[in-house]
Amino acid sequence: MSDQEVNNGVNVHALLEAKEALTAAPEAAEFAWRATCKWVNGTHSESSVKGFSGLGGEQSHKTEFKFNADHPEVFASEDNGATPVEYILVGLASCLTAGVASVAQNRDIQLHSVQANIEGDMNILGILGADSDVRNGFNDIKAGDILETFTEEEVSVI
Amino acid sequence: MSDQEVNNGVNVHALLEAKEALTAAPEAAEFAWRATCKWVNGTHSESSVKGFSGLGGEQSHKTEFKFNADHPEVFASEDNGATPVEYILVGLASCLTAGVASVAQNRDIQLHSVQANIEGDMNILGILGADSDVRNGFNDIKAGDILETFTEEEVSVI
């Protein structure tokens, strides 16, 4: 562990305090997350994320986040946004990255860069309903190349 | 079924042709979707979606789509984007909406508006590691209020 103060920008102290407070008042740990999706045209939609509930009441993001989803041109669509299945991969990739940052902070490891590459394999005969033996969904999801520039001293701590 | 031409903007003809072509050449139905996520600071990351493979080769969206993810201020974070779990709900909501549009087109039903509200319940004692009996993930996901303005004649077709 280095003598320098480790700062990955994660407030681990607040998270540990929250863990203690929520263990004492478990009903406040019940969260509900929401997304509202409005159809635009064809396979194009716009989803909004703003409010959620938790800590015993209604909460809100600072701003409303909006997301366009669509199918690509190879599916005879207009490609106005990422596909729904790519949004799932974005969720997984960003969860993994935030998790690495939080755990590193808790272990006093200074991060310099982190990258998560997620790939999801899918046989689209499933979603097209062309073959009932083919799963309608991902066959496999791989997380790779979690790149991080550790010093040798830091690696020995992990 | 109405005499007027139904147009929800979904090219069902192309999708049905694709279904036939892919059934004849099933190796082209093997797709791989990707997201790359770079850590920014704290729980803040930026994910990119552009390339994917399928139809026997490398494909690309017209543009690169970028997504900021973060945790909200109630988790002592900076709220620079939706949370990873909300991205999952966006994926589900937009999948459902595109599915409604495609199936309606195939059944000659003219859509006027569609909205999907998705809510995912989560006890955060799981992700905080505060209680090993609590699942680290959603407990339940509800899809509600799939609102659509059908005429009486159209409803009878569904």
> To the nearest whole angstrom, how far is the Cα of B36 from the nearest Cα of chain A?
5
Burial of B105 (0-12, 13-18, 19+ CB in 10 A): buried
Span B83-115, pLDDT tens digits: 999 999 999 999 999 999 999 998 999 999 999
Residues of chain A with confidence (pLDDT) below 70 = 1-4, 145-158
CB neighbours of B68 closer than 8 A, spacing ≥ 6?
Answer: B40, B44, B45, B46, B80, B81, B82
Please name the residue that has the structure tokens 């009878």: B156
Interface predicted TM-score (ipTM) of this complex, two decimals? 0.90
What is the number of CB-based contacts under 8 A between chain A and chain B? 312
What confidence score (pLDDT) does residue B18 get? Answer: 86
- Backbone phi, then psi, for A15, in 5-degree steps? -65, -40
Q: What confidence score (pLDDT) does residue A4 get? A: 64
- Per residue in A84-121, is it b (16+ CB within 10 Å) or e — as a string? bbbbbbbbbbbbbbbebbbebbeeebbbeebbbbbbbe
Task: Tell me the per-residue pLDDT of B143-152, one tens digit each, with 9 for 90 and over.
Answer: 986 555 544 4
Token pair of A112 as six digits: 């310099």
Contacts A92 to B, Cβ<8 Å: 35, 84
pLDDT digits (tens, 9 = 90+) for B55-75: 999 999 999 999 999 999 999
Q: How far is A26 from B74, CA to CA, in rounded Å? A: 16
Contacts of A15 by beta carbon, 8 Å cutoff, 6+ apart: A102, B75, B76, B128
Q: A123 with B70: CB under 8 angstroms? A: no
| Nearest-CA distance A155 → chain B (Å) | 19
Which residue among A23, A125, A134 sits closest to B130, beta carbon to beta carbon?
Answer: A23
Q: Which secondary structure element, helix H or strand E, spans residue A153, and what is its range?
A: helix A152-155
Q: For residue A21, list chain B residues with Cβ-Cβ distance below 8 A.
A: none
* CA of residue B121 relative to chain centroid, distance: 18
Written as one letter, the residue type at A55 is L
Q: The tokens of B43 are what?
A: 């729980």
Is the Cα torsion angle A52, B133, A28, A105 positive or negative in sign?
Answer: negative
Contact B94 A29 (CB under 8 A): no
Contact list in B for residue A61 (CB cut-off 8 A) is 72, 79, 82
Q: Which of B45, B94, B124 is facing A37, going by the closest CB pair?
A: B94
Alpha-carbon span B62 to A148, nearest angstrom: 30
User: How far apart (Å, rounded) are the C-alpha atoms in residues B132 and B125?
Assistant: 8
The two structure tokens encoding residue B55: 């139809």
Helices (H), A6-80: 12-24
Helices (H), B52-151: 84-106
Cβ pair B74:A54 closer than 8 A: yes
Cβ contacts of B114 on chain A, cutoff 8 Å: 38-39
Question: With an 8 Å Cβ cutoff, are B128 and A15 in contact?
Answer: yes
Radius of gyration of the CA atoms of chain B, in A: 20
Note the pLDDT of residue B88.
Answer: 97
pLDDT more than 90, % of chain B: 69
Q: What is the mean pLDDT of residues B124-150?
A: 83
Q: Among A10, A39, A71, whose Cβ lies nearest the Cβ of B43?
A: A10
Q: What is the pLDDT of residue A18?
A: 86
Length of chain B: 158
**Chain A contacts of B82, Cβ < 8 Å?**
49, 61, 65, 67
| First vs last C-alpha separation in chain A | 10
Contact B29 A123 (CB under 8 A): yes
